[in-house]
Amino acid sequence: MNKIKAGIINVTGYAGVELARILWQHPNVELVSVTGRSAAGKKLGEVFPHLAVTGLTITAELEGKIDVAFSAMAHKASAEGIVPLLNKGIRVVDISADFRLKEAAWYPLWYDFDHPAPELLKKAVYGLPEMHRALIKNADLVANPGCYPTSAILALAPLVKQGLVEPDLIVDSKSGVSGAGRTLTLPTHFSEASDNVRAYSLGGHRHLPEISQELMLLDASKNVSVTFVPHVVPMTRGIESTCYARVKPGKLSGGKEELDKIYYDFYHDEPYTKVVQQPPESKHTLGSNLCLLYPAINQKTGRVVVVSCIDNLVKGAAGQAVQNMNIMFGLPETSGLEALPLYP
């Protein structure tokens, strides 16, 4: 089988460089082109010494024959760059938010721009394999999910799908500083982030409509209300989401045993979403494409609590993008993603 020729748009961001690391080792992929306008003309190894083995030169635009392009650009710019690629017949996995939401009217509200290609929003497939694997298979454009939504949706999906909980859901998430990207800002300055925990976007984080949209698809009543509060914690990478839901009357009378069975049955065939026997920690997923889930129930208060952990740069970005590519090209879903987490 000929190798898939892949290109990365904006390799110099955290998601882009993680993509390069994974794709270079992928047995079915040849990474042939990487872009980064500020670093155009430099060897990839000059910018990231750990990738010197690739021998690639960063260019301003993708070069050569490309079968699949991964866009790791900022929102709006990503959509503008993707349209010409699709017109050339190149399949695309977009790591930005530009095609995740299905309503064009939501982009001015949440991302402060008018969508440049609204006609593609219905065509794009939301790239969460656990929910949309069949659609991803034949997609030309996959919208890679956000990191927070990945952890939250996977944590709550079994409860919402089976109508076990009330519609008022709470997601409390903690993320490493890399989630903010490589652009320098005061909140990500070492002196600001170290020894500190900071909640932000309490008036509505831009990942909130994405979480709500996908959970709404699972809920027969289409009645889901999500409170989402993200926090930055002093670590480089990883997300821990603690999700809360109130049990509907008469549901989950079997307690923890019944709850565990629901989660095991829901995810039993999934290669990367695993139900574990103790609350996971962010470091348990470090460097891997895993999402680890631990559901619990307090029958005195009638609440379910689900702990969800991912690496925000792998299952929350580059790893999930490669998982989507594998599905799109009919490869084994785990190709190039077999690495176990780093610990400690």
Distance of CA 51 to the CA centre of its chain: 23
Distance of CA 311 to the CA centre of its chain: 9
Residue 131 host element (H or E): helix 129-137
Beta strand 225-232 pairing with 4-9? unpaired
Supply φ then ψ for residue 26, to 5 degrees: -70, 125
**DSSP for 70-93, written as a single string:** EE-PPTTHHHHHHHHHHHTT-EEE
14 neighbors 27 (Cβ within 8 angstroms)? no
Measured CA to CA, the distance from residue 145 to residue 210 in angstroms comes to 8
**How far, in Å, are 76, 78, 108 from residue 112 at the CA level?**
9, 14, 4
Residue with tokens 């952990």: 309
Measured CA to CA, the distance from residue 186 to residue 296 in angstroms comes to 37
119 neighbors 96 (Cβ within 8 angstroms)? no
Q: Which residues are catalytic?
A: 147
65 neighbors 32 (Cβ within 8 angstroms)? yes
CA-wise closest residue to 132 among 213, 192, 247: 213
**How far, in Å, are 33, 131, 197 from residue 36 at the CA level?**
10, 32, 32
Distance of CA 309 to the CA centre of its chain: 12
- As beta bridge partners, residue 247 has 165
